[in-house]
Amino acid sequence: MSEHALNPTGEPSISYPAFRWYLMLVMLVATAAQTVVMIAPASMVEFIAKDLHIGVGPTTALMMATWNLVGPAGTIVAGFFVYRVGITRMFLLGCALLIIPSLLYPVVGNNLPAVIVLRVLQPLGVGPIYATAPVLAAIWFPPAQRSMVAGLQGFATSLGVAIGFGAAPAAYLATNKNWLAMMACMAIVPIIALIMTLVIPFGPKPPKAKESHQDEASMARDWKLATSEPVFYVGILVMLFMCWCFVSTNDLTPGYFAVSKPMGVGYGPVIAGKLMTTLQVLFMLGAAAVAPIFEKIFRENARVTVTVAFLVFAVFIFSISQPFVYTNMKILYPVLGIAGFFLAWVVPVCIAFVTLHYPAHLVGKMIGLWFGIGLFAGVPAIGIGSALLTKTGNYHASIYVVTAIAVVGAIIAQWLKPPKAFRC
């Protein structure tokens, strides 16, 4: 069974096999796999630091900051190769880079240089997975379904974080509190993704679009046209501001709720965890729900959709600094949920925008650059937030900065308009 996309005359032009739904499932499992591996050490840093004989700060930098530096770089590089290498090989490469280093942790033991090498290798698996998903959407799915694919990838990203937060402590206890064995256990999800990927070559070939046989000169010309329009750079900025908001919210807000007054609001780690879980769950729902919202309500207008997402997030994330919100749980939980729900729209809409308005052979490069550069925002987001916390003695300044970044994102989004060079 297959589905046909209609050309302007109403005649079917491209046949989209039902096998695309299996491919989407592979993409979702692979996406979740990389965030499971990413987040697994986050709640274990105290125990990891003890076994490595280094401080908690250096351990956090090794296990988490390294990922935020290597992962984006790998995504940028992968984007330039995905169209030529192919979806199957890229998924296999991404999964292998997640699996092999994970399984080697018990082998190398608490050897610090070896652990550093493994933690540098693992995030290299991010790029082949993230850069491949938009190309999959552009080639295998009709335009009306591409925003759904992008949204579900955002859902899978957050789902992997949620699984990792639960699986890592459970694996740590099940392995007699051996964090090295725990890291090896995290290979289970990417192994499942790899096995699922091995089925792909036995399925039907991808749909044939008009650009299937473009030569190198034509593709180079298209890339030059794409990068010559302002919207290309607007997309990078939009993703940069979104990632800044996402990282700041997830890394600094838990402390705001948990830390004692006057620095925080003093709810402790348990309540802080529940509050952030609410935000995470609604973020997943927002990513999953954005496709029909984008298509039916906003008529695939990325500029308006992203503007609304940033502005609503700005209003609600700012409000958590106000006493009438953070002192009333009946208000605070919905406020956090709404902030997460709307922020989740930005990445899927940007991915859908690219798949709808650019040739398929450009999609991997563009999303690789947009998302890869955007992920680097985590570095200044945490750095500035931490500096403001030290200087002011409370989290309010950090919240104000995140609010301002979201407002700037909404302003920049006004130039997120379809390129003139392409009519896809």
Q: Please check the confidence at residue 424 and state whether its pLDDT lies above 60.
A: no
pLDDT digits over 98-154, tens only?
A: 999 999 999 999 999 999 999 999 999 998 998 888 888 888 988 888 888 888 888
Q: What is the architecture of the domain spanning 220-415?
A: Up-down Bundle (1.20)
What single-letter DSSP state applies at residue 10? S
Segments of the chain assigned to CATH 1.20.1250.20: 14-201, 220-415
Collapsing DSSP to helix, strand or coil, 317 comes out as helix
Residue 393, pLDDT score: 82
Q: What is the architecture of the domain spanning 14-201?
A: Up-down Bundle (1.20)
Residue 305's contacts (CB-CB under 8 Å, 6 or more residues apart) are 290, 293, 294, 298, 345, 349
Neighbours of 323 (CB within 10 A): 8
pLDDT digits over 285-297, tens only?
A: 998 899 899 989 9
pLDDT digits over 19-44, tens only?
A: 999 999 999 999 999 999 988 887 78
Q: Please check the confidence at residue 229 and state whether its pLDDT lies above 50.
A: yes
Contact 80, 361 (CB under 8 A): no
Which of 87-101, 107-121, 334-348, 349-363 bottoms out in mean pLDDT, i.e. has the lowest? 349-363
Residue 16 to residues 84, 193, 206, 351, 364, Cα–Cα distance (Å): 21, 23, 8, 20, 20
pTM for the complete prediction?
0.78
**Cα-flanking dihedrals φ and ψ of residue 15, to 5°?**
-95, 125
Ramachandran area for residue 359 (φ above 0: left; ψ -120 to 50: alpha; else beta): beta
Confidence bin at 1 (pLDDT 50/70/90): low
pLDDT digits over 297-315, tens only?
A: 999 899 999 999 999 999 9
What is the length of the chain?
424
Q: Please check the confidence at residue 8 and state whether its pLDDT lies above 80.
A: no
Burial tier of 327 (Cβ tally within 10 Å: 0-12, 13-18, 19+): exposed
Residue 18's contacts (CB-CB under 8 Å, 6 or more residues apart) are 1, 2, 3
Residue 212, pLDDT score: 47
pLDDT digits over 362-414, tens only?
A: 887 888 888 888 878 877 887 787 788 778 888 888 899 999 999 999 999 99
Residue 308, pLDDT score: 98
Residue 21, pLDDT score: 95
Q: Which residue stretches of 109-229 are H helix? A: 112-121, 126-140, 143-174, 179-185, 188-197, 216-227
**First-to-final CA distance of the chain:** 25
Q: Which residue stretches of 300-377 are H helix? A: 302-319, 323-326, 329-343, 346-357, 360-375
Burial tier of 161 (Cβ tally within 10 Å: 0-12, 13-18, 19+): buried
Query: Could you tell me the two tokens for 323?
Result: 């006493």
Q: Please check the confidence at residue 10 and state whether its pLDDT lies above 50.
A: no
Which residues partner with 12 through β-bridges? 6
Q: Please check the confidence at residue 55 and state whether its pLDDT lies above 50.
A: yes
Which of 7-16, 211-220, 348-357 bottoms out in mean pLDDT, i.e. has the lowest? 7-16
Query: Could you tell me the two tokens for 422?
Result: 């392409």
Closest CA to 407 of 231, 282, 238, 234: 238
In a 13 Å sphere around the CA of 362, the CA atoms on its Cβ side amount to 24
Cα 196 to its chain centre, rounded Å, is 21
Residue 9, pLDDT score: 40
pLDDT digits over 165-210, tens only?
A: 788 888 999 999 999 999 999 999 999 999 999 999 999 988 865 4
Residue 208, pLDDT score: 65
Residue 311, pLDDT score: 98
